[in-house]
Structure formats: structure tokens, C-alpha cells
Structure 1
Amino acid sequence: MNTDALMGVGAGLVLLALSTNVFAEPCNDMLSALQQERHLSQVKQTEGKQTTEYRDGPNIALSLSCATGAPNIAISWDGPTPDQAFYDLVGRTGSLVSKSPAADIVKASKQCRQQALKDDSEIATVEQKGLAIECQAFARDGGGTTITVFAE
């Protein structure tokens, strides 16, 4: 391999490392914040911290995905109707991803869930300035709700 080719490979590796660090920094901050949530217990983390999963009791699961450029958080409730603690967690953790205040995220999440329950696909989306929420909700088989908060 000649010197120019080696320099090109070296420059490419430096750019890859820099771009990985740019994406990793917001996720590292979010992971630190999630570690401070007193009821969350980390249960799994993929190599490179692309996905980190948590549990909060028997009904709540949370997943932070850093695999793409902008992180997202998915919070799931196993059961018929999520309690207020679930929505509080959606608001707090959703505000790590979005610049929207927790109260706005909770309101949009409840709206999204109601829309999903009325839709045959069981899926709905609520978009506002700086916030995008996708949810799935169903009453069959004991019920369930998943709220995913994206940076918009």
C-alpha cells in the first residue's frame, strides 16, 4: 500500500471516529440521566451502546436507541391502561430526546394512545414543533401501550 492510500485510510478512520463521537455524546448524556431514574434497572445493552434496555417493575420497559443519528426512547406498558407513573416517565425521559417540556410530551402521548386505540392498525402518530411521537395501543390480549418519542 502506498503512502497516499495509507493517509486516505487514516483520514477515513479519523472521520469515522469523530462522527461516532458526535452521535455518542448525546446518548452518553441520556444514559447518564437514565441511570439517575431511581426506579429504572438496566437489563441489557448492545455493543457500542446502540440500544440500552431498562425495566421499571412488572409493567414498564424502556429502550433508548442510539443506532441512528437522532436517538429515540420507547416506553412500553404491559396491561390495559397505563398509570400516571408511566406517563410521568414518558414525560421525563421523552424530554431527554425532545426539546419539548415533559407536560407537553405527556399530553401528546395520551392523545396518541387514544388515537391508536380507535385505529384498526393500533398505531398513531402525533407531531408538533420539535416533537414526534409514535404509539401503538391495544385492548386485546390484556392490553398494551408503547410510546416512542423522537427528536423532531
Structure 2
Amino acid sequence: MVVGTGLALLALSTNALAEPCDTVLAALQQERHLSQVKQTEGKQTTEYLDGPNIALSLSCALGKPNIAVTWDGPAPDQGFYDLVGRTGSLVSTRSAADVVKASKQCRKEALKDESEIATVEQKGLAIECQAFARDGGGTTITVFSE
């Protein structure tokens, strides 16, 4: 009886952790320009492409989802930031406009920093980014759930 109870609790906790990711995955399936290219076993990581310059990765490995959006090239276009805003608001409590504003601020700070990395933290929003101009440029914005 004790073993069965432990397994039931484990199953419940695993389902509870998967639930936020399932909701985000369902929303990402509705993004008309995203094409899923890879998904690991157990849906720990799901990767998408949006045209030749944009890649998106949803990570559910830690129970709380985070989304990383990458731009391959110099300055990201507005479509990139719109995607960051829409998908970032799925994993944070902030609006898409707030996510876009913080993402642009983070990228600007990363370009100025020698390490090419910056972090922006606000109530209900945590963003880490890497941005560089060398080798043709690139930007990755990661939005964390908390």
C-alpha cells in the first residue's frame, strides 16, 4: 500500500509539472510561422524554426517552462521581437509588450558588455540574453517563468 501511494504521488507531481508545459506547447502549435523540428523524449525540450533566421526552444526540464528565441544575423527584426513577446508572455506573468521592451533593453546591455551577456529582472519577469555583432551577429533571448 505504501509503495502504491508513493507511485501515485510521483505520478501526480510529474503531471503537475507537465501541465504548464503542455499549455505552452499547445499555444506554440497555434503559432502559424513556427515549424516543430525536434522534441526530446518526455517533451523536456521542443525546438522550432521560424524562417531562415529564427529558432525557438521550449525547455520543460526544470518543471517551470522557459523559452529561448534566437536570431541569426545582425539586428533582429520586429517579427523576432513580436515572437519573443507572444511566447515570452506564455511563461511569465507579464504582457507581450513588457517582454518585448525588456528584451530590447537586455539585448542593448549585452551588446555593450564584454561578456556579451545581460540579464533583466522585473516583477514577474526574468530575461537573460546574449547578443553580439562579431561573425555576422546573433541574439538569443531567454524568458524564464519566474
TM-score by length of 1: 0.94
The residue that corresponds to 2:63 in the other structure is 69
The residue that corresponds to 1:85 in the other structure is 79
CA displacement at 1:9 relative to structure 2: 2.4
Deviation per CA, 1:60-95: give whole Å up to 9, x if none: 000000110211000000000100000000000000
The residue that corresponds to 1:148 in the other structure is 142
Aligned AA (2:36): Q
Pick aligned residue for 1:35 from 4, 29, 46? 29
Report percent identity of matched pairs: 84
Establish whether residue 116 from structure 1 lines up as the match of residue 103 from structure 2.
no
On the 8 A contact 2:21/2:64 being kept in 1, the answer is: no
CA displacement at 1:10 relative to structure 2: 1.9
Aligned AA (1:146): T
Distance 2:77 2:96 in 1: 16
Establish whether residue 16 from structure 1 lines up as the match of residue 10 from structure 2.
yes
Aligned AA (1:59): N
Aligned AA (1:64): L
Structure 2 residue runs of 5 or longer lacking an equivalent are none
CA displacement at 1:14 relative to structure 2: 1.1
CA displacement at 1:53 relative to structure 2: 0.3
Distance 1:52 1:19 in 2: 21
CA displacement at 1:111 relative to structure 2: 0.2
The structure 1 segments of at least 4 consecutive aligned residues displaced by more than 6 Å after TM superposition are none
User: What's the secondary structure of 2:32's corresponding residue?
Assistant: coil
User: What's the secondary structure of 1:106's corresponding residue?
Assistant: helix
The residue that corresponds to 1:125 in the other structure is 119
Distance 2:133 2:4 in 1: 54
The residue that corresponds to 1:139 in the other structure is 133
Distance 2:84 2:14 in 1: 27
Pick aligned residue for 1:98 from 92, 95, 99? 92
CA displacement at 1:106 relative to structure 2: 0.2
